[in-house]
Structure 1
């Protein structure tokens, strides 16, 4: 960065800084084999496409595991580190099978990939757990069968142990392989799972369901069995005090151990490798940090020192050190260790820095709204043309972490505002659950409140406000352009929902369950709610130019419903452009991502000046 904090628009070789951020090699937090901790698996974009890589930490050797035109990011190491499982779909459609290859690859041609469970037909994935004896527990989801879970033993045909129309998934497999933890939503609320622990033959050991017996439905989630032979303790997350926090449940002994960790915000956890302590992941007001906590003692949590910003993932190693993936809005991501070392440093040019975020709190109709603001690094004080970059999910939240997309807008003189609207995680269960039944409209009320602040504070130019986002953020963009037509000068919607009814009928089964939860039923059961929440309902009111990008293989926001919305824009003669690309719900190809941002920047330049 320059001494005055500004970021140059271009380097001497005329490659824009914003493109350099996308192209800079990145790595994920390495996952390591439980019984062979020197064998690790990570994701990298080193070739220009995000793929899986094997890393022998003892020798330092690294090997690319997958090589597919549209990339690969879903992979798991077997406990002994001898093999890698990776999910093989078709061009990003998320529908496929698990493949398996040796950790060190194959001999001769190819990499010796083979189906990991030959008896199972393609499906959407619903969790995977692999045991020390080679047994695998595989969750599957299809439109025809709902969720099924199978136990696959080496050399044997898959055995189905679970089936239900509602969404479910594999949580974890105990160290000795005798217990399987499942998350399910048989009660019909896809936002709040219940837990069931079963034996490998499918018989039930114990149930835990916080959705029963009260006026509020509370969710549970599996965090992991204790990593010790003969230990039946299961670490879970619960919402009994209005936020996510950990608890230890022993389904065999029938005991629950309340940890009551006194930290504000959401608290997650995972076991240290010897089971003696928990690594606490704490998120509060768009930042996160780490703590060590020893259950069963009077000791308070001890801070694991990390820089200010966001920890996107962390793991405790057998020697007691902690490795974590860290970034901030200004600083690009890096995998660090509590030893002070950089754990995994990809070769090549580093990503240029960006500007830090400012925290803004705005009073809204449902309470105080937290927004993150980035201003152009220039002497100008505003008002700026401003992009409201709306996050997806909706059960997600924007954090103080590095993001190349918003940084590109800042480089071009825009302010960027990101709003953690009602529905976002990280601000308590009531905030996350608030959007039911008035889906989309509630989020836009919060965005409107922050928009008003941005204009009145002098940050934003009221004539140059851009509503933008991807996935759920793309949906809110189209809905906002129709329900708030005078508020926005431009709309940029990536992989959006445009026609909610058609999207429901075409999307993957797990998302159908989520929509039934959010809206209280199917389009046939509550047509008025789907109509009120669908951008297609308001398309005739849209005034601003609209840019839409969509993946033709997207199972989450399928292409047919996007085309329905586009056809209505065409019928009106509304100013719009559409970019369709051969991938699913976004792209794992770096140059494709750059192309999409470039097209958005150009669209804004042409229509905003």
Structure 2
């Protein structure tokens, strides 16, 4: 993608010569492209996300002509978009400065003025989108006043509401012929274990599937998509009936379920091949992933050629070729194909490579804990950053990340812990977070910390607890509940005062919190108090750096300010950086600025790291 091929936002940020830029900054600045999403009826038209202008935005790609055009151009970036099946229109979600509250907008694939995509629908948080033929769309919305609503939108007509409930829900998919809508819902009150309902375009129920009460423990379901065949009501469903995520095929017309057997450890998810007879399988196990093709008629499973590392997205093309976004901790991301080709190359130099990860298993109070460890050149013990992932229903993997690579460049070891609550290690591990929220995860972090010190990797006098979002929450909670274990803390967009966070956060997250804690703060105040960093703020001794988005709907700014105000009252050493965005930033220079602030904070408070 040369600069003259971008027909919108042509003023790219001026870049210093590569020789003058340290490797850690080059990794942030290197242009990246996401996995292209293609239009069903026009597979040579695609969308992808890229940071080529210095801000993550949406691009349209004509694969026949090779033309790549920037669709969105907003100060805080845009990543949420979709193509209509005919490839004629690009839908993208327009919020305000990263607050995730807004409306859908559409633009012609070839360019032109933006226009409202769903006139008549007021701003909301998005709750899923499915686009059909002839302008048909199914739009999910979430607001504090209405809970979740789902609307059918047709050109020239008022939106028609076909679903409403106070609990969280979302649009799963629309059948290829536009007759059926799959909705993931949590009407039973457990936001971590969804059920499925298939309705027609009038909202009448066609079929139900609910595993939330089928045993001693609730089980979840996930919509993986309708069969790509007109008139075919089969739905690919992810389920947890065997203690992990794996797929089955559900015939919504007859109720018949086709279990699928995979002789693979770990989680298995899938999507349809365009022929409707095969599945593209993504197998995730021990922080890595690989691809397979599964034949529904015979059960034959064929491995596809994927390098060791992590696949963060994959799609099967009409010709059977599979394209996927791949990276490893050492090697930067690429959009590859099973044909062996690189599908989509961004302009400019690639990001410098980094250090491979080493797998470590540590005995913990809830079972073996998997940690990913990277060490810099030289002999230990090293100053060490414990980088805690967000979610909590997420996991660190053998994938490229500019932040950990920056710490390695400055002489720090990096340890990432897939604590209880992380995905990818079975349902029981993920579902362990009940009632003692935050404290359970930190027990696992403490066990890995002990290993890191006793093994000689980490210097106990130079330990940094760090993380963003849920990882930022665990950082603040850890500094208060384990004050003797950590030298410094770095908390980005954290939960700091859990009660205030609950009252201010977006509605879907309130539902998750009620599931985690067993109720609201009014119903179980003692549990929220036990898990809130604000409860332990007077025990914090380590200097802490906090960064927060002023427009964050997930970890809102008021609860962060409550925590910081208490640190001020206590005279506790801390610094804060507030920025005009939401739950993180899509602007490259802003990300570099935050990384530089963290590096400088650690350098000033921690002897031994190499100067940024």
Q: Same fold (TM over 0.5)?
A: yes
State the match for 1:83 in structure 2.
89
> How big is the shift at 1:296?
2.3
- Deviation of 1:213 (Å): 3.5
- In 2, distance between residues paired with 1:254 and 1:600? 54
Corresponding residue for residue 469 of structure 2: 471
Partner residue, 2:425:
427
CA deviations 1:58-116 (Å, max 9, x no partner) are 0000000000000000000000000000000000000000000100011xxxxx10010
The answer as to 2:161 corresponding to 1:160 is yes
The C-alpha deviation readout for 1:264-293, integer Å capped at 9, x for no partner, is 000000000111100000000000000000
**Residue 610 (structure 2) aligns with:** none
Q: Distance in 1 between matches of 2:148 and 2:194?
A: 14
Find out whether 1:96 has 2:97 as its counterpart. Answer: no
How many Å separate the matches in 2 of 1:213 and 1:170? 23
C-alpha deviation, 1:17, in angstroms: 0.4
| Secondary structure of residue in 1 paired with 2:162 | strand
Distance in 1 between residues matched to 2:291 and 2:297, nearest whole Å: 19
Aligned partner of 2:322 in structure 1 is 322
* Offset from partner CA, 1:29-73 (integer Å, 9 cap, x none): 000001100000000000000000000000000000000000000
Distance in 1 between residues matched to 2:251 and 2:539, nearest whole Å: 56
Alpha-carbon contact 2:261-2:299 (below 8 Å) kept: no
The alignment status of 1:42 with 2:48, answered yes or no, reads: yes
The separation in 2 between residues aligned to 1:264 and 1:298, in whole angstroms, is 17
The whole-number CA distance in structure 2 between the counterparts of 1:213 and 1:229 is: 32
Distance 2:203 2:18 in 1: 63
The answer to whether the Cα contact below 8 Å between 2:18 and 2:26 also exists between their aligned partners in 1 is: no
**Partner of residue 4, structure 1:** none
CA distance in 2, matches of 1:192, 1:79: 30
Match for residue 33 of structure 1 among 39, 54, 59: 39
> 2:480·2:540 contact (CA, 8 Å) conserved in 1?
yes
Q: 1:355 to 1:155 in 2, by over 3 A?
A: same
**Deviation for aligned residue 1:133:** 2.3
Q: Tell me the residue number matched to 1:438.
A: 436
For 1:206 and 1:486, how far apart are their aligned partners in 2?
Answer: 55
How many residues align? The count is 592
Structure 1's consecutive aligned runs of 4 or more residues displaced over 2 angstroms after TM superposition are 10-14
Aligned to 1:180: 181
1:11 CA displacement: 9.0
Say whether 1:309 aligns with 2:315: no
Residues 193 and 12 of structure 1: CA distance in aligned 2, closer, same or farther (over 3 Å):
closer
Distance 2:19 2:224 in 1: 48
Cα distance in 2 for residues equivalent to 1:330 and 1:362: 23
For 1:206-221, list aligned pairs within 5 A.
Answer: 206-221=207-222
Aligned equivalent of 1:367: 367
Counterparts of 2:178 and 2:18, CA distance in 1: 58
Instruction: Give the TM-score of the pair, scaled to structure 2.
Output: 0.96
- Paired residue for 1:131? 132
Q: For residue 224 of structure 1, what is the aligned residue in structure 2? A: 225
Q: State the Cα distance separating 1:381 from its structure 2 match.
A: 1.8
Contact 1:127 1:170 (8 Å CA) reproduced: yes
- Per-residue CA distance 1:217-274 (angstroms, 9 max, x = gap): 0000000000111111100100000000000001112110000212100000000011
Deviation at 1:298, TM superposition (A): 4.2
Q: Distance in 2 between matches of 1:137 and 1:571?
A: 50
1:445-484 C-alpha deviation (Å, 9 max, x unpaired): 0000000000000000000000000000000000000000
Question: What SS does the aligned partner of 1:435 have?
Answer: coil
Could you list the runs of 5+ residues in structure 1 that have no partner in the other structure? 1-9, 107-111
CA distance in 2, matches of 1:215, 1:115: 47
Query: Do the aligned residues in 1 keep the contact of 2:277 with 2:297 (CA within 8 Å)?
Result: no
Could you tell me whether the CA contact under 8 Å between 2:442 and 2:474 is conserved in 1? yes
| Equivalences for residues 328-407 of structure 1 within 5 A | 328-376=328-376, 378=377, 380-407=378-405
CA distance in 2, matches of 1:58, 1:537: 59
Contact 1:181 1:195 in 2 (8 A): yes
Counterparts of 1:118 and 1:316, CA distance in 2: 33
Secondary structure of 1:21 counterpart: helix
Counterpart Cα distance in 2 of 1:218 and 1:454: 35
Alpha-carbon distance change, 226 to 485 in structure 1, aligned in 2, over 3 angstroms: same
Q: Secondary structure at the match of 1:36?
A: coil
CA contact (8 A) 2:323 2:337 kept: yes
Deviation of 1:215 after TM superposition, in Å, equals 1.0
Q: Distance in 1 between matches of 2:207 and 2:18?
A: 64
Structure 1 residue matching 2:133: 3-state secondary structure? coil
Per-residue deviation, residues 533-553 of structure 1 (Å, max 9, x unmatched): 000000000000010000000
Distance in 2, matches of 1:213 and 1:600, equals 47
Q: For 1:318, what is the secondary structure of its paired residue?
A: coil
What is the CA distance between 1:14 and its match in structure 2? 2.6
Matches of 1:298 and 1:311, distance apart in 2: 23
User: 2:571 matched to which residue of 1?
Assistant: 573
Q: TM-score, normalised by structure 1?
A: 0.97
SS for the counterpart of 1:70 is coil
1:297 matched to 2:298: yes
What is the CA-CA distance between 1:602 and the residue it aligns to?
Answer: 0.3
RMSD of aligned residue pairs (Cα, Å): 0.9
1:108-130, CA deviations, whole angstroms, 9 ceiling, x for partnerless residues? xxxx1001011000000000001
- Identify the residue that residue 585 of structure 1 maps to in structure 2: 583
**Deviations 1:170-195 (CA, angstroms, capped at 9, x unpaired):** 00000101110000000000000000
Offset, 1:297: 1.2
